[in-house]
Amino acid sequence: MSARPNLVASIGRIVRFTRVMYKPHYLLYGVLWVLALEGTAALVSQPDTTWTPTGATATRIAIVAVVLLYLRMVDEQKDLEYDRVHNPDRPLVTGAVSAVELRSAMGVIAFVSIVGSLALSVTSAVMIAAVLVYGLLLWGVERLSETVRTNILLNLVVTYPVQLIVTGYVVLSAVDTGEVGSSRRVAVIAIVFAGAFLQFEFARKTSRINRRGELLYSNALGTSGSVAVSLLLALVAVVCEIAIVRPWDHSEPAALIGWIPLALLLIPAAGAWKFHRSDEPDYPAVPAVLFILALYITLLVQALVLT
């Protein structure tokens, strides 16, 4: 008779973990990621066909949302020793949730996401399974290799491909279900989304202070170097986006929407200027977040207007 209360208590702890570690803006990011990615891929691959989100799009959004939670759970466990020192308030560190409970939840998420993807296509299921497996492989690699665990640049090279696989999942799944056409130009979209995310990744791990033991890009590249890389990545994302969307091929006033990403570069530039003018130790992450959200919303509007 005690099993049911224990299960309810475990579910409650997982829900509380999700509230703490999976903030609403993470969910918003996941939703906009899928919509902007699918819409841009449709715009690039079949510009003469109007793109509209479908039931398959909604399924992909739901699957990506729960898979991002799965990856958050993986991170919580693989970073446990680091968090005990640098983030002692994390749920797994404090005992607010157990590793067994996280792994059980991961198993449920894996089952639901694979089955849900299989309803879209076999390729969709294979790609989402690859995301799940890669997350586990990262966990294993970091446990086995101290170099990967402590060298932030090498760690980025090893860990970032999981995001590329998610991007591949969305695009290939959308090709299978008919929202996106097959085109080599679609591959460039991965650079757009990689640049947008990585400019945030560098921004959030940049500081004036070299904190020994903390994984900061500024520790490896210097403060100025880390800031420069973040800004360069934003520029790469925008230039590649304009190159594939080609706003000059559209008539006014719709073409103006195609040039909006150029103006969005003012957001990370303002963040860099604010950091330069202030005495704050840490680089401001808010402008980097706003850049991603504004860019994704712009891409979504472009997909709806320019097709």
* Proportion of the chain above pLDDT 70, given as a percent: 98
CB atoms within 10 A of CB 188: 15
DSSP symbol at 249: G
Express each pLDDT in 74-110 by its tens digit.
989 988 888 888 888 888 898 889 999 999 999 999 9
User: Tokens for 169?
Assistant: 């999942």
Check if the beta carbon of residue 169 is closer than 8 Å to that of residue 134: no
Question: How far is the C-alpha of 286 from the C-alpha of 298, rounded, in Å?
Answer: 18
pLDDT of residue 1: 47
User: Tokens for 66?
Assistant: 């729960």
My answer on whether omega of the bond before 253 falls inside 30° of 0, hence cis, is yes
Residue 99 half-sphere exposure, CB side, CA atoms within 13 Å?
7
**Number of alpha helices (DSSP H) and beta strands (DSSP E) in the chain:** 16, 0
Express each pLDDT in 216-266 by its tens digit.
999 999 999 999 999 999 999 999 999 999 998 878 887 899 999 999 999
Mean pLDDT lowest for which of 47-51, 210-214, 271-275?
210-214
Check if the beta carbon of residue 132 is closer than 8 Å to that of residue 113: yes
Residues 6+ apart with CB under 8 A from 54: 177, 179
pTM of the full structure = 0.92
Express each pLDDT in 168-183 by its tens digit.
999 999 999 999 998 8
Express each pLDDT in 121-148 by its tens digit.
999 999 999 999 999 999 899 888 989 9
pLDDT band at 2 (very low <50, low <70, confident <90, very high): low
pLDDT of residue 5: 62
Check if the beta carbon of residue 230 is closer than 8 Å to that of residue 206: yes
Identify the burial level of 118 via C-beta atoms within 10 angstroms of its C-beta, where 0-12 means exposed, 13-18 middle and 19 or more buried. middle
Q: Taken in order 258, 255, 267, 300, is the CA torsion positive or negative?
A: negative
Check if the beta carbon of residue 206 is closer than 8 Å to that of residue 284: no
